[in-house]
Structures are given as structure tokens and as C-alpha cells.
Amino acid sequence: MSDATPLPVSADTTDALMRRLLLTREQVAELLGVPESSVDYMHRVKRLRAVRVGGHNRWKPAALKDFVDQLEPED
């Protein structure tokens, strides 16, 4: 998946992804509706915590939910 504007994700797709134990960078970007480069940035600045599995970053759905719950609305 490129860093182009992501397509909307259906509720069924969102539910299926959130039931996974760990999510890939592409899946996190899809769920958040942001480019993969934004996932990389949020991970680098420690706003979105990942775990390492076989040398790859993976995200727990609970960590993603915590991240979203901490977001503040824009003024």
C-alpha cells in the first residue's frame, strides 16, 4: 500500500481487523485512515507503541484503541 490517501474502511473490515492479535503497519494505517508514513512517524515519536515480532513492528488492537481514545478534538 502506498502513502496515498487511504480508502474508507467498511465496518465489517474494521471489526475483522480489530479481532486480530497483532496488526501490521498497513492495517494500522487503514484503520486510522492515514498514510503508512504517518504510522511510522507516530511510532517514532512514541505516540503509537508497537511490539517487535521477528524483527517487524506489530501493533496490538488495544494499543490502537488507547491511542484513539487519547486524541483531543481540534478547536
Instruction: Identify the CATH number of the domain defined by range 11-69.
Output: 1.10.1660.10
Question: What pLDDT was estimated at residue 72?
Answer: 87
pTM score, whole prediction: 0.71
Q: Where are the alpha helices (DSSP H) in 1-75?
A: 11-18, 25-32, 36-44, 61-69
- The span from the CA of 44 to the CA of 20, in Å, is 23
Cell 486480530 maps to which residue?
20
Summarize pLDDT for 2-40 with one digit per residue, the tens. 555 555 666 666 676 667 789 999 999 999 999 999 999
